[in-house]
Amino acid sequence: MSAIWAADRGGAGRPLTQAGFPDEAALHDLVEKAPRMLPLAGSPRLTVLGREVRLGGGYADLLAVESSGRLVIIEVKLAGNAEARRAALDGALDEYEALGSTWTLPDTLIMAGTCRFVTGEWHDAVQGLEDGLRVAAEFGQSVLGAPANATVALIDLGRGDIGAAGQRIAPFGAELRSGAPRFGTEMVAYVAALIAEVQHDLPAAFTILRRTWEFAAAQRNRHSDRYLAPALVRVALELGETAVARAVANRAEQGAKLAPEVATVQAAAVRCRGLVDGDPSALLEAVEFARRGPRVLDLAVACEDAAMVLAGAGRADEAKALLIEAFERYEAIGAKAWAARVTAALRRLGVRRGVRGTRLRPVQGWESLTPTEVSVSRLVAEGLTNREVAQRLYMSPHTVNTHLRHVFGKLGIASRAGLASEAARNSSTTT
pLDDT at residue 123 greater than cutoff 70 = yes
For range 160-171, the mean pLDDT: 96
Note the pLDDT of residue 205: 97
- Percent of all residues in the chain with a pLDDT value above 90, rounded to a whole number: 43
Q: Which residues pair with 75 in a beta bridge?
A: 3
Cα-flanking dihedrals φ and ψ of residue 326, to 5°?
Answer: -65, -45
- Asked whether 261 and 58 are in contact (CB, 8 A), the reply is no
* Residue range 183-226, pLDDT digits in tens: 789 999 999 999 999 999 999 999 999 999 999 888 888 888 89
- For range 5-13, the mean pLDDT: 40
pTM exceeds cut of 0.75: no
Instruction: Kindly report the CATH number that applies to the domain delimited by 366-425.
Output: 1.10.10.10
Q: What is the mean pLDDT of the chain?
A: 78
User: 257 pLDDT exceeds 70?
Assistant: yes
The answer on pLDDT for 336 being more than 80 is: yes
For residue 399, give the nearest of 124, 215, 60, 88 by alpha carbon: 124
Please check the confidence at residue 60 and state whether its pLDDT lies above 70: no
d(CA 305, CA 300): 9
Q: Answer whether residue 266 shows pLDDT above 80.
A: yes
The fold of the 224-360 domain, in CATH, is 1.25.40
Contact status, residue 244 vs residue 232, Cβ threshold 8 Å: yes
What per-residue string of b and e applies to 256-290 under the rule 16 or more CB within 10 Å gives b? Answer: bebbeebbbbbbbbbbbbbbbeebbebbbbbbebb
More reliable by pLDDT, 261 or 16? 261
- Which span out of 16-20, 131-135, 260-264 was modeled with the highest average pLDDT? 260-264
| pLDDT of residue 228 exceeding 90 | yes
Please report which confidence band the pLDDT of residue 135 belongs to, taking 50, 70 and 90 as the band edges: confident
Distance from C-alpha of 316 to C-alpha of 293, rounded to nearest angstrom = 26
* CA–CA distance, 147 with 143 (Å, rounded to integer): 9
Share of the chain above pLDDT 70, in %: 72
| pLDDT given for residue 324 in this prediction | 93
Lowest mean pLDDT among 2-16, 175-189, 286-300, 402-416: 2-16
Q: Average pLDDT in the 163-176 region?
A: 93
Of residues 297 and 222, more confidence is placed in 297
Which sequence spans correspond to the domains of the chain?
A: 1-107, 224-360, 366-425
Place 81 in a pLDDT band, splitting at 50, 70 and 90.
very low
11 pLDDT above the threshold of 50: no
Give the least confident one: 101-115, 193-207, 353-367, 401-415.
353-367
**pLDDT score, position 163:** 96
What is the pLDDT, as a whole number, of residue 140?
77
